[in-house]
Amino acid sequence: MSVGKDLVAMFGIMDAPASVSVGHDRVVQPPWVIAFPPLVLVLIIFLIVHEYRSRRRRQLMQGYPFPPRP
C-alpha cells in the first residue's frame, strides 16, 4: 500500500505497518495536545467558581457570631 502525498492522523494513534510507503511526511497528532487546553480552561473556571462561592459563604457567615462557650 502506498500514499502519494502526506499522511496525517489526528486525535489518536496511527497503527500502520512498516510496509506502507508514504510519499512525503507522516504526522501523528496525539490526543492530549488537543485535549489539554480545554482541560486547563475548565480547571480555571472551576477554581474561579469555587473561590467566588467560598467568598460569598464567608461574607454570609460573617454576620453570625460563634455560639457561646458552655
In this predicted model, what pLDDT tens digit does every residue of 13-36 receive, in sequence order? 776 667 776 677 666 777 777 788
Side-chain half-sphere exposure of 61, counting CA atoms within 13 A: 8
Residue 62 has pLDDT above 80, yes or no: yes
**Rounded distance between C-alpha atoms, residue 41 and residue 18, angstroms:** 39
- Determine, yes or no, domain membership for 42: yes
Domain total of the chain: 1
Q: pTM of the prediction?
A: 0.53
pLDDT value for 19: 74
Structural domain span for residue 13:
2-62
Which letter, b or e, does each residue of 31-59 get, where b requires 16 or more Cβ atoms within 10 Å of its Cβ? Answer: eeeeeeeeeeeeeeeeeeeeeeeeeeeee
55 within domain boundaries: yes
